[in-house]
RNA sequence: GAUUCAGUAGCUCAGUAGGUAGAGCACAUCCCUUUUAAGGAUGGGGUCCUGGGUCCGAAUCCCAGCUGGAUCACCA
């Protein structure tokens, strides 16, 4: 990178780095720096009477500085929080040489630098617990200025809020926005709670392929890729259902996987192309049993993260306390639209959908129409956790036929805050029925349903050896994390949400500039002036370009010999 | 994909009947021994997203594009 491209503040920091080196201070030391406390534990446990924490060593990032002559205050932020530092010249520099304070601390250490300090804890006249620093050590020099976010009584000043910058530059977001870290810690707690719960039941955590020759287990469009050695098309998984069931067939009685799945579909505040699901399969169980497991597990998640079954989400308070409300799909539609669709055929359903302002098209089968009606008229109204049970058979090709009602399957979803958070079945284990259901999907695909499932011969082959009756569950971790952390967007619970690539300025190589006669040392200056390709140079007014170059030379004190106007003309005309 | 709003200093944001680009924080210099979003004073810093057009003159008006937000559609 050419120095001319840097902002003034970045240049000043690089100069500080040079000066540190000249003073024999390594701005990036290799050796470990042993801390013996964190900011939050000091603030929680320090007591003026006990006079504890009289020899602490902590490390972190300098977040603010207030220099008052020979005494200074700074704020140090570590993983757990912030604490004020008090630095006094003569405490840091016990002999005649005051360089460490006057030069190193006051001039060469910037906001954003990572330092280690040793000292004792005391309380200032203003009543703030602070570290009286006796030793300060540079651990890592920061070359870019941080956005300065200040806070007083919960009011935030100059918050760093631009979503694009926050998502693209998550490290910075985490540094200056402490609540962001909290969200991700909660997300991890959600996952850990579920994992502990499942492990306590002795289910086995497994891993299954992400690259799959056939994609299956859900209705969605996949990402497609290619394996060179095999010369074969592979898909990124849209679900892991079929592989997990093959493990059940193989004799594991309880398996689960936290899995990244990939769907090549729209992106918005509820959808990211890659997302996380937890899928669980347990042999010799049915969907009633699974429903109670979900209630218990999610209630535990809320309790572990919030210490309560109640979670504030937007304007609602959602209560995960068991038992949750239950509807069948038909009874839910009846409740919210007043229409009983349970006996209708496809024609009647279509008419009903149109009457209810639900979009239907030619590709939709009976199940899909019902799903649409439910999606429009019921789902958004279900704020408290609610189970919807017994789905039409057409939209559930992997679920077992209902034990008592024709045309339905044993399936439930849990809806919360107007969104699906999980999906579960009594799994279909009749290989002949399974083959028929796949064939019905093929017919849907022929009608134009892009999400219809593909027939998976290997899966059927495995099932033909005999699969125990099994209940299966998929639970959307991102969606659950959004609710638990009160986040409005999935991007707020993913560290690095998918973004469009930033458009890079196209810039010609040095060779091209040299080919029109530009001396190497002038190339970055021409680019700085805005001529990033020789195409642009050729279009330039040579007088203007000449003036701009001389101006930049002077302004940045580059001390280059200015080119003659004839030379600049020659570049432009070449 | 559609509609709509936005893009100005490192950060948060003002600004315009078209007429020399502003503030706070940050940064620099000087002063200052316990300050509390902010100690005092002075100062430097800009491709006003990009490219066209209108105009004597565009950050401002028009057109196109890029990026992002919001809403809607598909999907978990």
What is the distance between the alpha carbons of residues A23 and A103, in angstroms, rounded to a whole number? 10
What is the distance between the alpha carbons of residues A200 and A304, in angstroms, rounded to a whole number? 15
Rounded distance in angstroms from the CA atom of residue A386 to the C1' atom of nucleotide B3: 34
What is the distance between the alpha carbons of residues A104 and A138, in angstroms, rounded to a whole number? 9
CB neighbour class for A569 (10 Å; exposed up to 12, middle 13-18, buried from 19)? middle
- Per residue in A367-426, pLDDT tens? 888 888 888 888 888 999 999 999 988 888 999 999 999 989 999 999 998 888 999 999
Which pLDDT score, from 0 to 100, does residue A567 have? Answer: 80
* pLDDT at residue A442 tops 90: no
- How is residue A58 written in tokens? 């902590």
How confident is the model over A288-313, as a mean pLDDT?
96
Closest residue to B27 measured CA to C1′: A9
Which pLDDT score, from 0 to 100, does residue A290 have? Answer: 97
Rounded distance in angstroms from the CA atom of residue A419 to the C1' atom of nucleotide B72: 17
- Give the closest nucleotide to A75 (alpha carbon vs C1'): B36
Which pLDDT score, from 0 to 100, does residue A141 have? Answer: 95
Judge whether A557 and A4 are in contact, CB under 8 Å: no
Rounded distance in angstroms from the CA atom of residue A150 to the C1' atom of nucleotide B9: 19
Which pLDDT score, from 0 to 100, does residue A266 have? Answer: 79
Is the pLDDT higher at A206 or at A365? Answer: A206
How confident is the model over A47-72, as a mean pLDDT?
93
- Give the closest nucleotide to A420 (alpha carbon vs C1'): B76
Closest residue to B68 measured CA to C1′: A164
Q: What are phi and psi of A470, to 5 degrees?
A: -145, 145
Rounded distance in angstroms from the CA atom of residue A333 to the C1' atom of nucleotide B50: 51
What is the distance between the alpha carbons of residues A256 and A201, in angstroms, rounded to a whole number? 11
pLDDT band at residue A343 under the 50/70/90 scheme: confident
Query: Which is nearest to A472 in space by CA: A211, A294, A300, A236?
Result: A294
Which pLDDT score, from 0 to 100, does residue A153 have? Answer: 80
Per DSSP, the three-state class of A507 is: coil
pLDDT > 70 in chain A, percent:
94
- Please report where in the chains the tokens 């679900």 appear, as a residue: A239
- Give the closest nucleotide to A265 (alpha carbon vs C1'): B75
pLDDT band at residue A227 under the 50/70/90 scheme: very high
How confident is the model over A153-169, as a mean pLDDT?
84
Query: Which is nearest to A78 in space by CA: A29, A114, A32?
Result: A114
* pLDDT at residue A503 tops 70: no
Listed in sequence order, the residues at least 6 apart from A89 whose beta carbon sits closer than 8 Å to its beta carbon are A70, A71, A98, A101, A102
Global confidence as pTM: 0.89
- Give the closest nucleotide to A71 (alpha carbon vs C1'): B33
Closest residue to B36 measured CA to C1′: A126
Q: Can you list the positions of beta strands (E) in A285-397?
A: 310-313, 316-319, 325-328, 386-392
* pLDDT at residue A209 tops 90: yes
Judge whether A372 and A360 are in contact, CB under 8 Å: yes
Which pLDDT score, from 0 to 100, does residue A544 have? Answer: 66
Rounded distance in angstroms from the CA atom of residue A527 to the C1' atom of nucleotide B46: 17
What is the distance between the alpha carbons of residues A299 and A309, in angstroms, rounded to a whole number? 6
Count of C-beta atoms within a 10 Å radius of residue A512? 15
* pLDDT at residue A192 tops 90: yes
Which pLDDT score, from 0 to 100, does residue A264 have? Answer: 87
Cα–Cα separations (whole angstroms), residue A541 to A254, A339, A545, A546, A572: 74, 74, 6, 9, 8
Rounded distance in angstroms from the CA atom of residue A58 to the C1' atom of nucleotide B70: 43
What is the distance between the alpha carbons of residues A565 and A549, in angstroms, rounded to a whole number? 11
Specify whether the backbone of A92 is left (phi greater than 0), alpha (psi in -120 to 50) or beta: alpha
How confident is the model over A549-567, as a mean pLDDT?
72
How confident is the model over A72-90, as a mean pLDDT?
95
- How is residue A57 written in tokens? 């060593």
* pLDDT at residue A504 tops 90: no
Rounded distance in angstroms from the CA atom of residue A303 to the C1' atom of nucleotide B40: 52
Rounded distance in angstroms from the CA atom of residue A178 to the C1' atom of nucleotide B15: 33
- Give the closest nucleotide to A262 (alpha carbon vs C1'): B76
- Per residue in A451-495, pLDDT tens? 788 899 999 999 999 999 999 999 999 999 999 999 988 999 999
Closest residue to B7 measured CA to C1′: A162
- Give the closest nucleotide to A64 (alpha carbon vs C1'): B26
Among the ranges given (A55-64, A154-163, A278-287, A461-470), the one the predictor scored with the smallest mean pLDDT: A154-163
Which pLDDT score, from 0 to 100, does residue A468 have? Answer: 98
- How is residue A344 written in tokens? 């209708």
- Give the closest nucleotide to A66 (alpha carbon vs C1'): B35
Which pLDDT score, from 0 to 100, does residue A1 have? Answer: 42
Which pLDDT score, from 0 to 100, does residue A118 have? Answer: 96
How confident is the model over A492-505, as a mean pLDDT?
78
Q: Which bases of chain B come closer than 7 Å to a protein CB?
A: 1, 9-13, 24-29, 31-39, 44-45, 47, 51, 66-76
Rounded distance in angstroms from the CA atom of residue A479 to the C1' atom of nucleotide B75: 14
Which pLDDT score, from 0 to 100, does residue A65 have? Answer: 93
Mean pLDDT rounded to a whole number for chain A = 89
When computed from its CA atoms, the radius of gyration of chain A, rounded to whole angstroms, is 32
- Give the closest nucleotide to A89 (alpha carbon vs C1'): B33
Rounded distance in angstroms from the CA atom of residue A88 to the C1' atom of nucleotide B16: 50
């Amino acid at each position: 990178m050419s120095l001319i491209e840097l902002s003034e503040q970045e240049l000043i920091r690089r100069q500080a780095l040079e000066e540190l080196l000249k003073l024999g201070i390594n701005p990036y030391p290799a050796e470990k720096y042993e801390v013996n406390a964190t900011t939050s534990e000091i603030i929680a446990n320090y007591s003026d009477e006990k006079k504890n924490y009289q020899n602490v060593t902590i490390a972190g990032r300098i977040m603010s500085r207030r220099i008052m002559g020979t005494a200074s205050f700074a704020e140090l932020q570590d993983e757990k929080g912030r604490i004020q530092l008090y630095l006094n010249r003569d405490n840091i520099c016990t002999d005649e040489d005051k360089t460490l304070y006057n030069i190193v601390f006051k001039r060469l250490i910037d906001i954003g630098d990572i330092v280690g300090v040793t000292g004792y804890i005391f309380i200032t006249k203003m009543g703030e617990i602070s570290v009286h620093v006796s030793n300060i050590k540079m651990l890592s020099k920061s070359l870019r200025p941080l956005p300065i976010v200040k806070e007083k009584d919960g009011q935030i000043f100059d918050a760093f809020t631009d979503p694009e910058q926050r998502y693209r530059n998550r490290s910075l977001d985490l540094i200056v926005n402490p609540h962001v870290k909290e969200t991700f810690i909660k997300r991890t707690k959600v996952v850990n709670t579920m994992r502990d719960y499942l492990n306590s039941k002795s289910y086995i955590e497994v891993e299954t392929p992400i690259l799959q020759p056939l994609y299956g287990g859900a209705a969605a469009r996949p990402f497609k890729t290619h394996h060179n050695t095999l010369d074969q098309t592979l898909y990124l998984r849209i679900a892991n259902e079929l592989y997990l069931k093959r493990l059940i067939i193989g004799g594991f009685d309880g398996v689960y996987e936290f899995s990244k799945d990939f769907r090549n579909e729209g992106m918005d505040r509820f959808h990211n192309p890659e997302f996380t699901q937890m899928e669980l399969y347990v042999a010799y169980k049915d969907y009633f049993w699974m429903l109670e497991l979900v209630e218990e597990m999610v209630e535990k998640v809320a309790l572990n993260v919030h210490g309560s079954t109640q979670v504030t989400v937007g304007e609602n308070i959602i209560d995960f306390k068991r038992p949750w409300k239950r509807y069948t799909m038909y009874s839910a539609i009846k409740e919210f639209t007043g229409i009983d669709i349970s006996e209708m055929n496809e024609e009647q359903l279509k008419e009903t959908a149109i009457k209810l302002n639900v979009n239907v098209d030619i590709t939709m089968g009976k199940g899909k129409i019902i799903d649409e009606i439910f999606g429009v008229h019921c789902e958004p109204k279900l704020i408290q956790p609610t189970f919807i049970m017994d789905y039409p058979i057409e939209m559930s090709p992997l679920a077992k036929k209902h034990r008592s009602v024709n045309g339905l399957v044993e399936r439930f979803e849990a809806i919360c805050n107007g969104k699906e958070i999980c999906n579960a079945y009594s799994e279909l284990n009749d290989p002949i029925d399974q083959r028929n259901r796949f064939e019905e999907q093929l017919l849907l695909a022929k009608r134009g349903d892009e999400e219809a499932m593909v027939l998976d011969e290997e899966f059927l082959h495995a099932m033909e050896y005999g699969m125990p009756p099994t209940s299966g569950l998929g639970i959307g971790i991102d969606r659950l994390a959004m609710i638990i952390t009160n986040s409005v967007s999935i991007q707020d619970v993913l560290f690095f949400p998918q973004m469009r690539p930033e458009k890079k300025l196209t810039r010609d190589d040095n060779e091209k500039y040299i080919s029109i006669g530009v001396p190497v040392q002038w190339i970055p200056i021409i680019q700085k002036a805005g001529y990033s390709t020789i195409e642009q140079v050729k279009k330039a007014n040579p007088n203007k370009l000449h003036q701009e170059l001389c101006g930049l030379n002077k302004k940045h004190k580059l001390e280059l010999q200015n080119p003659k106007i004839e030379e600049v003309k020659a570049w432009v005309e070449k």
